[in-house]
Amino acid sequence: MKKFFLPLLAAAFSFHVNAQEITAALNTDEARTVISKHIYGHFAEHLGRCIYDGFWVDENLDVKKQGRIRLDVVEALKKIRVPNLRWPGGCFADEYHWRDGIGKPSERPRMVNTNWGGVSEDNSFGTHEFLELCELLNTEPYVAGNVGSGTVEEMAKWVEYLNSPAQSTMTELRKENGRDKPWKVTYWGVGNESWGCGGNMTPAYYADLYKRYATYARNYPGAPLKKIASGANADDYNWTETLMKNIPRNQMWGVTLHYYTLPTGNWSGSKGSATQFDEKEYFNTMKNCLHMEELVQKHSAIMDKYDKEKRVALVVDEWGIWTDVEPGTNPGFLYQQNSMRDALIAGTTLNIFNNHADRVKMANLAQTVNVLQSIVLTKGKEMLLTPTYYVFEMYMNHMDARLIPFAFTTPDYVNGDRTIPAVNASASLDSNGKLHITFVNIDAGKDITVKASVNGKKYKTVNGRILTSKSFTDINTFENKTKVVPAAFKGAKIEKESLVVKLPRLSVVSITLE
């Protein structure tokens, strides 16, 4: 058996286990912390076919477009209410010079994308195009500024170009390029992965550099910047400690954490296939996914030492599974398929973030279209939604609802002599009094039943949806786009004022009580 610990008020939702049955007590009166909708953010880098041939397509492609923005992709993302979109990187951010991406597209300079495939970048998708995309999506832009190869002046003038209503050379330039009013961008990343591709810096050096860049990234009327420091890689706890110790709270809205789930756990060799893997590798992948819980707990504990009021957000702005690229594709484009396994990773990770909503205020899945753990794949004029997309659709009810925190004991998922928790979950109460619970059963062989008494409110009806498939390797393809899609869930009922839920093996389940 494994004790699955989650923060705060453990008595609010408690479990004990009898064989493959979990009993629980859920108290809605304990719902206090808001689960920020920004936990459900996404990431669009100039990498492979995410921007070019993803969001931004050839003007002759026979799909519905606004300019060159692909609208079927936009409509799919609007349906899951994408709250924010991070751009232009990633590693690309620290070699991106924003003035190359404004003005007449035919006159914009070209560059080589040295991080991702060595391809030519024509800068036809720049600041105006990105912010037009955000307006179409009705989402907040999250811009990553260039610290690695850019200057303080360059970043300061980008903020001015975006946000200032006053008369200046930068604002006149913005107007000449077709935008009269400022966009009022507030989420602002000061560099990216400064410990690696963003400059190979030490944490102390970056902390000093951050303060300098952040000082000159000014607030303009109606657009106070939420400045986000480039935080740790996985378990580099010293990086978080150094930033929290040396950067004043009033200069930093958030600090980032990057962690990718690798099936093999190996960065230097094969990371593992996206579609061809056995149960041993599946188990190992889910074990690595669950490491996010420890990372969030330990980085949060360090932040608590310097910020007891929790004013600084932990921003997990790169997360997801990273596998070997699909055979025959450019290794620098990071194109990978998306399986039922990846849906279980998404559900599990979002449950972890929800349960740490007191500190995790923002997160960004890597990446939105055609790169890494994509929610959308495109091929010419065709488009498909991946299993991961449907997890975001099923979890929407948690956005800005109040967390019902809990701790529970879960049955083990056993593989050989190794064990990991079989079930994870999160629960919330929305503004209309509806109760939402999302469960993930990662066990490849066993169904698990949950019996939960509900205290604080009485509910009469239960509705649910389920995402599952026969195999963890099942995928949606352009030949069969609906192999892994949600269905109505009939395995939940209210019985004598208790909720009874039978969680099938390999399933993500969302429940709403009214």
What does the DSSP assignment read for 225-245? -EEEEEEEETT-HHHHHHHHH
> Is 45 annotated in the active site?
no
Tell me the C-alpha distance between 173 and 208, whole Å: 31
Q: Report, as an integer, the average pLDDT of 86-104.
A: 98
Q: How many CA atoms lie within 13 A of 279 on its CB side?
A: 13
Q: Report, as an integer, the average pLDDT of 458-472.
A: 96
Out of 30, 45, 140, 193, the active site residue is 193
| Average predicted confidence (pLDDT) for the chain | 94
Helix, strand and coil in the chain, % to nearest 5 = 30, 30, 40
Tell me the C-alpha distance between 147 and 185, whole Å: 18
SS3 161: helix
State residue 24's pLDDT score. 81
The answer to whether the beta carbons of residues 32 and 100 sit under 8 Å apart is no
State residue 496's pLDDT score. 83
Tell me the C-alpha distance between 388 and 470, whole Å: 16
- Whether the pLDDT of residue 18 is over 50: the answer is no
Domains and CATH numbers, the chain: 2-33+404-513 (2.60.40.1180), 37-46+79-400 (3.20.20.80)
Give residue 23's pLDDT band: very low, low, confident or very high (50, 70, 90): confident
Q: Report, as an integer, the average pLDDT of 6-20.
A: 43
Q: How many CA atoms lie within 13 A of 308 on its CB side?
A: 0
Q: Report, as an integer, the average pLDDT of 383-396.
A: 98
Closest CA to 112 of 104, 103, 122, 124: 122
- Whether the pLDDT of residue 386 is over 50: the answer is yes
Residue with the bigger pLDDT between 89 and 5: it is 89
Per-residue pLDDT tens over the stretch 262-307: 999 999 999 999 999 999 999 999 999 999 999 999 999 999 999 9
The answer to whether the beta carbons of residues 455 and 28 sit under 8 Å apart is yes
- Whether the pLDDT of residue 101 is over 70: the answer is yes
- Whether the pLDDT of residue 452 is over 80: the answer is yes
423-to-190, 426, 445, 448, 497 alpha-carbon distances in Å = 37, 11, 13, 8, 23
- Whether the pLDDT of residue 11 is over 90: the answer is no
Strand-by-strand arrangement of the 13-18 sheet: 13-18, 21-27, 448-455, 498-503, 492-495
Give residue 407's pLDDT band: very low, low, confident or very high (50, 70, 90): low
Out of 95, 140, 318, 393, the active site residue is 318
Per-residue pLDDT tens over the stretch 191-248: 999 999 999 999 999 999 999 999 999 999 999 999 999 999 999 999 999 999 999 9
> Is 393 annotated in the active site?
no
Q: Report, as an integer, the average pLDDT of 458-484.
A: 97
DSSP of 79-142: HTT--EEEES-SGGGGG--GGGGSS-GGGSPPEEETTTTTEEE---S-HHHHHHHHHHHT-EEE
- Whether the pLDDT of residue 456 is over 90: the answer is no
Q: At 352, phi and psi to the nearest 5?
A: -60, -50
- Whether the pLDDT of residue 8 is over 50: the answer is no
- Whether the pLDDT of residue 16 is over 80: the answer is no
Q: Cβ neighbours of residue 134 under 8 Å, at least 6 residues apart? A: 85, 140, 141
Lowest mean pLDDT among 3-7, 83-87, 329-333: 3-7
The answer to whether the beta carbons of residues 93 and 46 sit under 8 Å apart is no
161-to-169, 175, 177 alpha-carbon distances in Å = 9, 9, 11
% of the chain residues with pLDDT over 70: 96
State residue 180's pLDDT score. 97
Per-residue pLDDT tens over the stretch 156-175: 999 999 999 999 999 999 99
Sequence letter at residue 431: S
- Whether the pLDDT of residue 5 is over 50: the answer is no
Q: Report, as an integer, the average pLDDT of 499-506.
A: 96
Tell me the C-alpha distance between 437 and 425, whole Å: 7
Q: Are strands 498-503 and 448-455 parallel, antiparallel or unpaired?
A: antiparallel
Residue with the bigger pLDDT between 19 and 179: it is 179
